[in-house]
Amino acid sequence: MALWSGRFQEDVSEFTQEFGASLPVDKALYHQDIAGSRAHAHMLAAQGIISKDDAAAIDKGLASIEARIEAGEFPFDINNEDIHMSVESVLTEEIGDAGARLHTGRSRNDQVVTDTRLFAKKRCVDLMHANIELRRVLIEQAQEHFDVILPGYTHMQHAQPVLFSHHLLAYVWMLTRDFERISAAYFAADACPLGAAALAGTTYPLDRFATAESLGFAAVIQNSLDAVSDRDFLLDLLYACSVSCMHLSRLCEELILWSTTEFGFITLSDAFSTGSSIMPQKKNPDFAELIRGKTGRVVGDLVALLVTMKSLPLAYNKDLQEDKEGAIDAAKTLEDCLVCAAGMIASMETHEEAMFEAACKGYLAATDVADYLAKKGMPFRQAHEVVGHLVLLCEQRSCDLSDLSLEDFRAESELFEDDIAGALDIESIVRARTTFGGTGHDAVAEQLDSALVALAADETALDELAASVL
């Protein structure tokens, strides 16, 4: 019979036992569950609610159970429907009445969400470590290929030339914001619900602040109803994972495009590519595609929990058992994607000449030619039209702006002089973008410094957070 079977005359059926069990999922939280129980037992003894001898027996028994779980020797039984009952039932079998006193003053409702919050904090720290490593790899590639120029795109059409380092740093800043979102999810989880019991608190003189401190929580949740029913912290984690996966998907889409024959900007290493079962020549960017594809499942995990939560009355409902699987999956998926992306980018080969050659096509100097006229007094809208006529002339001749003669330019405006050649030079065009955040060499050098400062600051902050994680 189950630990809650006192008012029941018969067990649930075998099917409903399996249908209602969360053990296959929440056994991943064994470390957090045992840590919470040890802290709870220590507090009960300190408050005189159980004896110190009972607390010592509980602590020793739980340490033994954790060692057996880690050694793969613990008898998980689906009849003990979750990790909490699995641990407590074996503990009671082994140490007797002392084990049966462990649950004094708490409920599985506050116990499970304590486990989940501890687990969420741990996974946030793991994700922040992986985030920092990918940012480091992107920055290193930006430093190594600082002067490389490639075409920038809008609407997937050639737009203006940019530094490859500038392009990579755009993803560094996306990931920096992802770090902030994951950090926010950490802080959202960093409050202790233990002692809220089922929903209303308890008559026992618990010291909730002592258990919170021993478990590394920064605060105690103030409302017992909110403590057992809140899953906002998991939604925060799932949202952070979804946005980060979306950023990785965008990055991988570009890696996929850049590695095509049509682009030829990069070659992915063999370690991050696969072949075809029928076409011997193929080298496919499968892992970039997988990262792009896995984004859908992580977004699905977020939507699933949002829908689960949307109509739940206070306080605890069995629906909340569905909160963990998606969060565990999303965190694992994102961590794997971050690691894979870092490996791909660190090992890829960059074809600088192909990038620059592409930057010399598609009339990428057109905006600078219009700016040339505007700086000589022509209204920009009129200059825009003049350059449009020049581009049309180039299309008719199948040539580029740099192939036109000075007479061709002057036929559209007498403001053109010999110095127009400077407005057509791709490297000069890039170097001239000196505004803060622009793609000019000086601006990107400053941006690289800022990215390194932000990375160092996040590493320091992460070290501090990791120190309080069980």
CATH number at residue 378: 1.10.40.30
Q: Which helix (H) or strand (E) is 154 found in, with range?
A: strand 149-154
Domain boundary, last residue among 48, 77, 104? 104
Residues 317 and 410 in one domain: no
Residues 167 and 303 in one domain: yes
Residues 152 and 92 in one domain: no
Domain boundary, last residue among 65, 84, 104? 104
Residue 109: inside a domain, yes or no?
A: no
Using 50 as the pLDDT threshold, list the residues of the chain that sit under it: none
The number of distinct structural domains making up the chain is: 3
Amino acid at 314: L
Provide the pairing of β-strand 219-220 with 191-192.
parallel
The residues carrying an active-site annotation are 155, 276
Residues 47 and 161 in one domain: no
Residues 375 and 354 in one domain: no
**In whole angstroms, how large is the CA radius of gyration of the chain?**
30
- pTM of the predicted model as reported, rounded to 2 decimal places: 0.94
Residue 255: inside a domain, yes or no?
A: yes
Residue 435: inside a domain, yes or no?
A: no
Residues 59 and 150 in one domain: no
Residues 302 and 239 in one domain: yes
Q: What is the pLDDT of residue 328?
A: 97
Residue 203: inside a domain, yes or no?
A: no
Domain boundary, last residue among 46, 80, 104? 104
Residues 332 and 183 in one domain: yes
Q: What is the pLDDT of residue 19?
A: 84
Listing DSSP states for 319-371 in one string gives GGGGHHHHHHHHHHHHHHHHHHHHHHHHHPEE-HHHHHHHHTSS-TTHHHHHH
Q: What's the CA gap between 234 and 328, in Å, rounded?
A: 10
Task: Provide the token pair at 298.
Answer: 């992580």
Residue 279: inside a domain, yes or no?
A: yes
Secondary structure class of 408 (helix, strand, coil): helix
Residue 442: inside a domain, yes or no?
A: no
Secondary structure class of 149 (helix, strand, coil): strand
Residues 181 and 246 in one domain: yes
CATH number at residue 95: 1.10.275.10
Residue 242: inside a domain, yes or no?
A: yes
Dihedral pair phi/psi, residue 32, rounded to 5°:
-70, -40
Residues 292 and 347 in one domain: yes
Residues 267 and 409 in one domain: no
Q: What is the pLDDT of residue 8?
A: 65
Residue 244: inside a domain, yes or no?
A: yes
Whether the Cβ atoms of residue 467 and residue 122 lie closer than 8 Å to each other? no
The boundaries of the domain holding residue 374 are 366-424
Q: What is the pLDDT of residue 4?
A: 55
Listing DSSP states for 299-330 in one string gives HHHHHHHHHHHTTPPSS--GGGGGHHHHHHHH
Q: What's the CA gap between 246 and 236, in Å, rounded?
A: 15
Residues 228 and 251 in one domain: yes
CATH number at residue 227: 1.20.200.10
